[in-house]
Amino acid sequence: MNSLSIRKIITKTILTVIFTCLGIVMIAPFLWMLSASFKLQSEIFKTPIEWIPRVFHFDSYKEVWLGKHPFYQYYWNSIKITSLTVLGTLVTSSMAGFAFAKLNFRGKEALFLIYLSTMIIPTQVLLVPRFILFDKLHLVNTHAAIILPGLFSVLGTFIMRQFFSTLPNELLEASKVDGASVFRTYLQICLPLTKPALVSLLILSFTWHWNEYEGPLIFLRTNSLYTLPLALTNFVDENTTNYTSIMAASVSSLLPLIILVAFFQRWFVEGIASSGVKG
């Protein structure tokens, strides 16, 4: 084994140790939160920290899920809003991305540039006109006011357009020779090949809308319509010193995101890497 190989092994080992330490530091707050949610109030701030409680207590989770404001109602609201929004985002972004990548029409590049430039507009600027519009349509204090704006995503269109651009044009030419329509080519030939990009968009969109706070805060007024982030904020305000319950509520709100990312991690990394291969 030459000196160059030994140097590479040492470098790789050092980098592995460094990134492992960074990973432990980053995950430590979540592990503490998870541990604290199963403790009594008097046990949370004991030193040294007991990462694994001697006795697991579930009273905090009972209070969160079956207490004064049960979280199952807010969970259902968040699941409904997020699921419909993510589904709409996947449909509209994939169709728009396919059109911008593979179809030829006048002004395509200029239209895509204009559409992409809307990302620089702060969302806060649009809140007042959006509120006025939804108020005229009698959509304020309904879930539709949260779902409708989220059905279209500039970032999602960009990701899908970049991925569709990597597909060879011969696929479209072959399907055209076989008599397939444009929509059938998109749905049955090209779309199944974009699984990594779709999964990346799914995770990004799900995370964004699951954690969205500003929209529900402005457009929802009835407690029974609240989403999880809004309910969690109110729960923290009502239980300012009940740390075990706050930790249990926080763990409950994060659990779907952890499961989603853990399940789709492989496709997510592949999709993000592929979305920038070809402009």
Q: What is the pLDDT along the chain (279 residues), one digit of tens a residue?
A: 567 677 888 888 898 999 999 988 988 888 888 898 898 888 888 878 888 888 888 888 888 888 777 888 899 999 999 999 999 999 999 999 999 998 888 888 899 999 989 888 888 888 899 999 999 999 999 999 999 998 999 999 998 998 898 888 888 888 888 888 888 888 888 888 888 888 888 888 999 999 999 899 999 999 889 999 998 888 888 877 788 888 888 888 888 888 888 877 776 666 555 554 444
Residue 134's pLDDT is 93
Residue 279's pLDDT is 40
| CA dist., res. 56 & res. 53, Å (int) | 6
